[in-house]
Chains A and B, each alone.
Chain A
């Protein structure tokens, strides 16, 4: 029989420490929707998504009510559009983004991911059209998320795409300047992208996935912070052990929700993503976990080591609690979405360079970084190249979600609203990378790619 302490502990995690299931994401293959006529293709994808996703939101709400665990987001990911739209005779995929947006609105999900292309080794026709369509697509839609994979440990870095994405991010910022470049918050550039990630903005339904699949992303930075308060002053073995136990408990709930959603929707269970995803809410911060370990402010010397312990212990604890773990799994460090990160930037302890170092040991990369509107396309490309190199060499996922906010400069701040939060403008190194970025071509795959 359960004890009262166990019951109260679970409910305290939920009520006081912001424990929640961050997302139930339904992955849908669009591979059977292809057509040479883009109108028919758009109709096909709209019908398929709305049919497959019809019960997603209600199922999520039912599970939330029955178990008393908040399920914050219900989302949909689809096959990368560059692949499935490639047969269309067209020079723009903006209508496809509009069809995705309409489908998302019909089924009631707040984001749909998969306006994506995988170009780590080179472009196809569809990849080129998709990338050129991104600025307008993100400006004209509300719920569509876009991602590009331009590097991998196996293939190296596509530096032509690195250059192009700097320009695309700038153009997206311009076209959504009336909303403080919100379009850039829905655009991620990856190295070693996982094809089963349920979190936005980088979610898409990989080509090796089943027809439909349910994946769940858990969260709970506040729960980990609270648990670490109990071991203040103890050594790092105690810290790691505490995080592992907490991650185990959190993930078990994610597994329960995933299996229930899978059963009720008749869709196979894919993976649990073990990520600690912060929100701007008080008590839901990854930075505050690092500070709880003994740092005066996130970004102080020791921050990278603290994040490494956190990231590793979350995986070790979570891994034992779920039958299938995947996605990004680790600790996210999105600046504008984390109250502790925002405060650390404001007090000057957290810089872009330190964040870059942290991305060597976190689960993704430079995330939700607001920079001055006059940051050049080649500087943004340089930042992308650095992140891609970290991912490629270290065989890990890295990413860049950077927002050059038109009209804003260092000292200003920007408000994105909701879960996307707000951020001070972060200073960027002003020395130029133009000639480096202009070279283009491919950075060869590293020696560690030859593993066979």
Chain B
């Protein structure tokens, strides 16, 4: 199963590293990263493969949300199908 991770918030050093580390520890493979800074705000969208993930989607959502709250970032993890069904026939 693929998931989409979106991260929005104040830019700072180490956001990509922090998220990547959590994903690596849980055997979640990054397929695509798209990141930019808009008006000083950090925007990142990742598509990840959770096929070999050690944790469920729900647990990953909680872990990243908790980490995001600590750092003042809004981090969402969503099942990829909601985007696929809306934008692909």
Contacts and interface: CB of A to CB of B under 8 A. Distances in A.
A10 B87 contact: yes
B76 to A, nearest CB: 6
B24 to A, nearest CB: 21
Given A1-B47, A4-B34, A7-B6, A65 B82 contact: no
Interface string A220-255: 000000000000000000000000000001001101
B86 A10 contact: yes
Interface in B25-72: 31-32, 34, 43, 45, 47, 57-58, 61
Interface residues of B, number: 24
Nearest to B61: A65
Q: Most chain-B Cβ atoms within 10 A of its Cβ — which of A1, A7, A10, A253?
A: A7
Interface residues of A, number: 20
Interface string A53-67: 000000000100111
B82 A68 contact: yes
Contacts of B82: 10, 67-69, 253, 256
B61 A255 contact: no
Contact of B45 (A7, A66, A67, A252): A7
Nearest to B31: A1
Nearest to B36: A4
A2 B83 CA distance: 8
Contact of A4 (B45, B76, B81): B45
A9 B77 CA distance: 16
A68 B85 CA distance: 14
Contacts of A6: 83, 86-87
A11 interface: yes
Interface of B: 4, 6, 31-32, 34, 43, 45, 47, 57-58, 61, 76-88
Interface of A: 1-2, 4, 6-11, 62, 65-69, 249, 252-253, 255-256
